[in-house]
Amino acid sequence: MKLQFWRQGAVKGPMLDLHCHILPAIDDGAVNLDMALEMARIAADDGITTIACSPHIYPGMYDNTARGIRLAVKALQAELDQRGIAIKLLPNADVHLVPGLVDGIREGNVPTIAGSRYLLLEPSHHVAPPGFEDSVFELMAAGYVPLITHPERLAWVEDQYDVFERLSRRGAWMQVTAGALTGRFGRRVKYWAERFTGEGHTMVLATDAHHPQRRPPLLAEAREAAAALVGAGEATHMVLTRPAGILDDRPPEQLPPPLFATQGFTPVPSQAPRSGSALKDFLRRLRGSRA
């Protein structure tokens, strides 16, 4: 407890958010311009300087395209600039894993993160997608680095944590939700967030913000939580060094490697209980479950 108090405020500096549903009226994130502006102000106050805007692409439900997203980014950036909100926006998408995804990227319909080789990849929430590992390997064989979104929040992580471990060891990157690490999604999700992080598999922390209050764009508190678990240097890599490298499209081998692959690394056990109140966690998921 004393140690955590001492660490409070220990990590400073800008942060980059690679997963945020801030573009207005384009998915289940910000519903209008006012809400998008409120989210941008909260993010700026938190120390976030850049947001790679990531609306869902989910055929049949959210049919966003790279072109539409670019236009929406440009429009919102103009609104931010006009109001002096110091956030740089870049195009991105929260890409649901569907057949034909590689073709969609190659044809330019599905955006990668700011046009880089890194792709924000969202697995289905409630059931493991059939052939999930093969699909991820297919993306990697095509030259992309999948940044797998919020594995800690998936209903099936409980039974298939080993799938993510294997993918991580083969070069897929894991993006853990900032609020998961700070307990905003309940104790069960916090346990898995701490486990991914403490075992050295978390490469990036991102807000996955959808709303100014219910799913706010806050990253600093998670950076502190990560610092308490694995140290300030690694926490900074998760919110700054690796996200900046992704935006610059630097190859993964030029960026800080996952902690599990560094010499002398000892896994840190999760401090959160493995299961919380099932009812509480269920109600929390009901209030804001969309990925």
Binding site for Fe ion (CB under 5 A): 94, 208, 291
Q: Which residues pair with 51 in a beta bridge?
A: 17, 89
Q: Which residues 6+ apart lie within 8 Å of 198 measured at CB?
A: 229, 230, 267, 268, 269, 270
Give whichever of 2 and 287 is closer to Fe ion, judged by the CB atom: 287
Q: How far is the CB of 178 from Fe ion (least distance, A)?
A: 12
Give whichever of 230 and 291 is closer to Fe ion, judged by the CB atom: 291
Give whichever of 77 and 175 is closer to Fe ion, judged by the CB atom: 175
Q: Which residue in the shown chain puts its C-beta closest to Fe ion?
A: 94
Q: How far is the CB of 257 from Fe ion (least distance, A)?
A: 26
Give whichever of 256 and 288 is closer to Fe ion, judged by the CB atom: 288
Q: How far is the CB of 20 from Fe ion (least distance, A)?
A: 8
Question: Pick from 25, 82, 83, 13: which is nearest to 50 by CA?
Answer: 13
Give whichever of 10 and 25 is closer to Fe ion, judged by the CB atom: 25
Q: How far is the CB of 268 from Fe ion (least distance, A)?
A: 26
Q: How far is the CB of 131 from Fe ion (least distance, A)?
A: 22
Q: How far is the CB of 19 from Fe ion (least distance, A)?
A: 6
Give whichever of 150 and 223 is closer to Fe ion, judged by the CB atom: 150
Give whichever of 277 and 289 is closer to Fe ion, judged by the CB atom: 289
Q: How far is the CB of 215 from Fe ion (least distance, A)?
A: 9
